[in-house]
Every structure is written in structure tokens, then in C-alpha cells.
Chains A and B, each alone.
Chain A
Amino acid sequence: DTGVSQNPRHKITKRGQNVTFRCDPISEHNRLYWYRQTLGQGPEFLTYFQNEAQLEKSRLLSDRFSAERPKGSFSTLEIQRTEQGDSAMYLCASSRLWGEKLFFGSGTQLSVL
């Protein structure tokens, strides 16, 4: 059990650029979640995958955001045409069983200039 791994840890980009983050969940965890956290707030749910199927998307996930989980292993979160309001910590979490606690990665801190 090596934990949930997220890359990169930090990303600085200019407004209008596209960025992509990667998450490697704990092996054998078939449930994967993306969250976003801004300063002074708790993590906010973005989307959920069970294996390769994206089963739920929050209304926070605008059409500039897309997430994938090919083959039910790692996942990517892409933000197109970034805006300053996208600056946040993007967290990935995984779990093995339904109704079980989530294990979080260290997050990717995005700064949009």
C-alpha cells in the first residue's frame, strides 16, 4: 500500500492555458474521487469513478473540466482555458469498498496567473 499518488504537486500556469493532473489510486481501489479545495473551505466533490465509469459529476465541474479513468487504473483531470478562479488544491481520493473511508493524496496545488 503506497498510498494515493498525485502529480504534479504544484502547477503554475497562465490564464487561458490547459493543464492536466494525474492521480494513481491505491492498487485494488476501484472507487476514485476528485475534490477541489480553496483557502478556508473544506474539500468540494467534483466527480466519482467506479472502475472506468464516471458515475457522478458535480455542477462545479464546468464544461472546461474533463476527467478520465482509462482501464480503471489511474485518472486524469484536465482543465481547459484556465481561469484565475480555478486556482485551488485539487485532491484525489480512493476507496476499495462502498461506504468505506476515503484515502486522499497530497493534492496538486494549481495557481493560475
Chain B
Amino acid sequence: DQQVKQNSPSLSVQEGRISILNCDYTNSMFDYFLWYKKYPAEGPTFLISISSIKDKNEDGRFTVFLNKSAKHLSLHIVPSQPGDSAVYFCAASAVGSSNTGKLIFGQGTTLQVKP
């Protein structure tokens, strides 16, 4: 049962353009959402998060949008840079109903930003 889904395995964009990565979830108990970035042979590194009480959170070039009714979130990167090329994971947690704080991850989307 894949509770967090990233349906696009890969995405290629030109440097300077916008990158949009999408994520869908099925568990309505999820109330905290995160994006992680991963380079080969390294662990995931935190990028940005959003609580379910918000619908948008922005940090520099990165913005996460949350649509609770559609159970959908997206990560926008503007402008995209070649150094952004990595695997991006969407993750979710049911903080309000769980005492573990564990994250459930999607399958990942490989972003390639071409110079």
C-alpha cells in the first residue's frame, strides 16, 4: 500500500526555467509534509516542509504547495540550476496521531537540470 506516490520517475528542465515536482498521498491522517533531496551515495537532506494548516511555504528558490482536498503537494524550484540535479523525495508524517514521527516516503523523482 503506497501511501505516498510520486508518479513521475524523472523530469528534465532547462537551466533558469521552473521545475515542478508532484506528490500525491492517500492517508488523510498525514499532517506534515517534507521534501528531501538526495545525491548518489549520500543520505537524503532536508529541503523544505509544510504543515497541513498552511497551503504554501516558501524558502528562497523553493516553494511547496499543499492541496489538502486533492491530497496533493508540489515542489516548485525557480529558477532551476544544474546543481539542483538530484533525486527528490516527498515524505509525509501523521504527527497529530502518531508518537513516532516516522516519515513515509514516495518513490522519488530524478530531476535533471540542463545547462
**Cβ-closest chain B residue relative to A95:** B101
30 intermolecular pairs with C-beta atoms under 8 Å apart: A31-B101, A35-B105, A40-B9, A41-B107, A42-B4, A42-B105, A42-B106, A43-B44, A43-B89, A43-B103, A43-B105, A45-B103, A48-B100, A48-B102, A50-B100, A55-B100, A91-B43, A99-B101, A101-B34, A101-B46, A102-B46, A102-B101, A102-B103, A104-B43, A104-B44, A106-B41, A107-B41, A107-B42, A107-B43, A109-B41
Judge if B49 is at the interface, Cβ distance under 8 Å. Answer: yes
- Using Cβ atoms and an 8 Å threshold, which residues of chain B touch A99? 32, 93, 95, 101
Interface size class of B (residues with CB under 8 A): 20 to 34
CA gap between A57 and B100 in the complex, in Å: 11
Q: State whether A106 and B43 are in contact (beta carbons under 8 Å apart), knowing that A42-B108, A45-B103 are contacts in the complex.
A: yes
Could you list which residues of chain B lie within 8 angstroms of chain A, going by C-beta atoms?
A: 4, 6, 9, 32, 34, 36, 41-46, 49, 89, 91, 93, 95, 99-108
A-B residue pair count with CB separations less than 8 angstroms: 65
The listed residue (A44, A55, A101, A107) touching B105 by CB distance below 8 A is A44
